[in-house]
Structure 1
């Protein structure tokens, strides 16, 4: 999926506009810290919205329904998760994911909740938000071999990491990410492609600068990201355009899919002058919308 929009669960206006934003995935955000009474109301509103948009018969563009929950080191993450699961979302974005153990713990709780709600086992996917502290960033390499099957994509949290290291900026001259942030971003991108997963870029926060937002989305796509978060509906069209496949990409993807279809059971096939394997097949199917 190309465009993911974060919608604050405590904003009635934002919730009302979410379905018409044009994003391919709407993520109701329960991870933002709120006073207890407001958090309880936000949980109710999130579950109501997720339930109300389960059927999208009249929607011009169908979208997936996700929820973002706080990290497992916070006191009320399970209440937020249970509220979101009452709306049977397609998946959960786990903020401040510290390690593969956090993903496994979340997956285990999801299995319990799915069983309680009568949902199919393992139907709920996970997108961990990684690298939000120096320790988390240094542990990213473990994900190559330890990712849970529920994980369908990876993303990161530039602002949290910048705060954690005392950085005064996210980007340097020319809009380039500062060195520590660029290192985490690059490592996440490599891990995602090594495992055949989606890689979702951090949102551009200056919503009034549409030209810069489009340039940054185009740069993320050029770097190999498969999608990007938006924080305002005005950003979605630019993200969709930036991540739309070009003809040469779709042509190559069709060749990869066709090569595997004509060689069932093969672990590697030849496409043109190169050998491709399962990760290239997954990437090709994702680009063609067949994943």
Structure 2
């Protein structure tokens, strides 16, 4: 059975696949590692990166491999290199309508695919991509999206996303949620802005994203913290689900001055589920603080 790449926690840290010296460090700092064969690697170094995949294996249950886009020579070379590994989950960049067939492993089984909707065509294709049985999650990216539109910046001077990026983010989240699949939020590219990364992850968790991609270990720690409910959130959720005034058969009631009905109870169940996942992630050896 293909492992669920989102079962251990929300912080997914990119690591260039041509830097095997960083593989174990990335796995130690994050809930999951995205070994990158695409934009994070100089094209001339990709043969070295492919060898590193085979020679320096990580836990397949906690690893995603980002291959190059369909239709590129590197794409086929990436799949050939993956055939010699135990990895079963890949991230497909610039996914759109050209992604028509399953990506097959050496044993003939399809890879589990995280599609990265990061072009105008990819965002518009998100609902169709989400319906594919081999797709386990949808992610999005702001920088390639704006580049595909002929733009020059995904963010305002204050660091907030421009409207087109926000629309794409929502479109991918809705496409994934409509079919019950995971949605993965984009990286925060300002490496020194840990507070900004944390704030975006807080919003992502509250909006329904399952995980957030990161490009720095400090961001991974901030993301994990952001997705973990506070003690106050957990206590409130427990009170709503088991407290006085919440009818077990459903309906609306008053709890602590607020109206509570089934949608809000579902919110509370999600809080407790995330709290449990955060606890499991901590005991399994996920993100550590930097020293």
| TM-score bin (small chain) | 0.7 to 0.9
Equivalent position SS for 1:70: coil
Structure 2 matches for 1:35-184, cutoff 5 A?
Answer: 35-36=43-44, 38-50=45-57, 53-54=58-59, 64-99=62-97, 102=99, 104-105=100-101, 107=102, 109-110=103-104, 113-115=106-108, 121-122=109-110, 124-130=111-117, 132-143=118-129, 147-172=131-156, 174-184=158-168
Cα drift, residue 27 of structure 1: 1.0
| Contact 2:185 2:211 survives alignment (8 Å) | yes
Relative to structure 1, is the Cα distance of residues 253 and 177 closer, same or farther in structure 2, using a 3 angstrom cutoff? farther
- For residues 10 and 30 of structure 1, the distance between their equivalents in structure 2, rounded to whole angstroms, comes to 8
Shift of 1:275: 6.0
Structure 2: segments with no counterpart, 5+ residues: 1-5, 243-247, 253-260, 281-291
SS at match of 1:217: helix
Supply the distance in 2 between the matched residues of 1:162 and 1:133 (Cα, whole angstroms).
8
**Which secondary structure state, in structure 2, belongs to the residue aligned with residue 208 of structure 1?**
coil
Q: CA RMSD in A?
A: 3.2
8 Å contact kept, 1:218–1:242: yes
User: Is 1:198 equivalent to 2:195 in the alignment?
Assistant: no
Q: CA deviation at 1:16?
A: 4.5
- The farther-off stretch of 240-249 and 86-95 is 240-249
CA distance in 2, matches of 1:88, 1:250: 40
Q: 1:3 aligns with which of 11, 21, 27?
A: 11
SS in 2 for 1:211: helix
Q: Structure 1 stretches of 5 or more lacking a match?
A: 56-62, 116-120, 256-268
TM-score by length of 2: 0.74
Cα offset, 1:137, TM superposition: 2.6
- Give the one of 25, 37, 54 matched to 1:30: 37
Q: 1:243 to 1:284 in 2, by over 3 A?
A: closer
SS in 1 for 2:221: helix
Return the offset for 1:199: 1.1
After TM superposition, list the pairs within 5 Å mapping 1:208-223 onto structure 2. 208-223=192-207
Normalised by the length of structure 1, the TM-score is 0.74
Counterparts in 2 of 1:284 and 1:194: CA distance versus 1, 3 Å: farther
Higher relative contact order (CA 8 A, sep 6+): 2
Cα distance between partner residues in 2 of 1:90 and 1:272: 44
Describe the SS at the equivalent of 2:13.
strand
Structure 1 residues 93 and 283: CA distance shift in structure 2, 3 A: farther
Residues 87 and 168 (structure 1 numbering): CA distance in 2 closer, same or farther, change over 3 Å? same
1:6 positional shift = 0.7
| Distance across 1 between alignment mates of 2:167 and 2:76 | 31
**Across the two proteins, how many residue pairs are aligned to each other?**
249
